Amino acid sequence: MSENQDLIVSHEVSAKRLLVLAIGLFGIGATVMGALTVQNVRSKAAVPVVSPSPFVEIVPPPQTGLVAPFIRLVTMQSKYNLLSTVPVSVYMDTGDQEVSESTVQLAFDPNVLEISQDDIQLEPVFKSMEANIFDNIITITMFVNTELGYPSVQTQGEQKVATLFFKTKTEPKDRSVIAIDFEKNNPTKTSMFAAGTTRDEEPENLLTNVEEASFAIAP
């Protein structure tokens, strides 16, 4: 074999060796990349996913010793600024009674506070619920017709049935009060009636006690 032929063969062998080396390096690189990818996936899979906890509204306890069935008003603050919004929530506890109807009558000072129909938010506790404002009186009527097969209402502890968003207008001399018009055993005022009874039967007002709301208004 001539010198030129030896040189050509030598170049071919070198080229083959380079090709084998490149393939080997490529295989190692692919293996490393694959291992890193798997490790990355495993690392991501190992991170615990924490679901956000549901919002829980902390309700202040009653100011007085209430015995169910009762209705009470709740404000989250004891003082509000002038020209601000005051959320007042209505809570109901039916105790061991099954209820088909309830009426809440509230009174406020229109010189100090104002509220419109759109400022009342009702919760879907009863099948039929509505609120009306006449002068300084707010009436919330809640009803379910059990004769049509709708279930009566029995709360598990106290349950919010409405929220009223008052706006402060002026600063009163004393604390502002949202009063509940209630008289024990009087079915024409704030009341709660057992399931299956009608107004024609002169039903007993199950409501035993109520709690009003009061707060200061700062300038």
Please check whether residue 125 lies inside any domain of the structure. Answer: yes
d(CA 139, CA 117): 11
Please check whether residue 65 lies inside any domain of the structure. Answer: no
Question: Are residues 130 and 202 located together in one domain of the fold?
Answer: yes
Count Cβ atoms below 10 Å from residue 141 Cβ, excluding itself.
Answer: 15
Please check whether residue 3 lies inside any domain of the structure. Answer: yes
Q: How many CA atoms lie within 13 A of 20 on its CB side?
A: 6
What is the domain count for the chain?
2
Question: Whole-model pTM above 0.75?
Answer: no
Domain with 5 in it: 1-50
Question: Are residues 108 and 199 located together in one domain of the fold?
Answer: yes
Please check whether residue 161 lies inside any domain of the structure. Answer: yes
Question: Are residues 77 and 23 located together in one domain of the fold?
Answer: no
Backbone angles phi, psi at 89, to 5 degrees: -100, 145
Q: How many CA atoms lie within 13 A of 161 on its CB side?
A: 31
Does position 178 have pLDDT exceeding 50, yes or no?
yes
Q: What confidence tier does 147 reach under pLDDT thresholds 50, 70, 90?
A: confident
| Segments in the chain forming alpha helices (H) | 3-46
Question: Are residues 44 and 115 located together in one domain of the fold?
Answer: no
What does the pLDDT look like over 190-212, one tens digit per residue? 999 999 766 566 778 999 999 99
Does position 89 have pLDDT exceeding 80, yes or no?
yes
Does position 156 have pLDDT exceeding 50, yes or no?
yes
What pLDDT is attached to residue 203? 79
Question: Are residues 171 and 123 located together in one domain of the fold?
Answer: yes
Question: Are residues 89 and 45 located together in one domain of the fold?
Answer: no
Beta-sheet pairing, 79-81 with 213-218: parallel
d(CA 66, CA 75): 17
Please check whether residue 130 lies inside any domain of the structure. Answer: yes
The enclosing domain of 178 has a CATH number of 2.60.40.680
Does position 85 have pLDDT exceeding 80, yes or no?
yes
Question: Are residues 45 and 112 located together in one domain of the fold?
Answer: no
What pLDDT is attached to residue 19? 43
What pLDDT is attached to residue 152? 95
Contact 59, 91 (CB under 8 A): yes
Question: Are residues 187 and 136 located together in one domain of the fold?
Answer: yes
What pLDDT is attached to residue 65? 87
Share of the chain above pLDDT 90, in %: 63
Question: Are residues 86 and 123 located together in one domain of the fold?
Answer: yes
What does the pLDDT look like over 31-73, one tens digit per residue? 434 444 444 434 333 333 334 445 556 888 888 789 999 999 9
Does position 125 have pLDDT exceeding 50, yes or no?
yes
Does position 28 have pLDDT exceeding 60, yes or no?
no
What residue type is assigned to position 118 of the chain? D
Question: Are residues 105 and 208 located together in one domain of the fold?
Answer: yes
Backbone angles phi, psi at 14, to 5 degrees: -65, -40
Question: Are residues 184 and 152 located together in one domain of the fold?
Answer: yes
Using alpha carbons, select from 183, 182, 187, 189 the residue that is nearest to residue 201: 187
Question: Are residues 41 and 137 located together in one domain of the fold?
Answer: no
Please check whether residue 148 lies inside any domain of the structure. Answer: yes
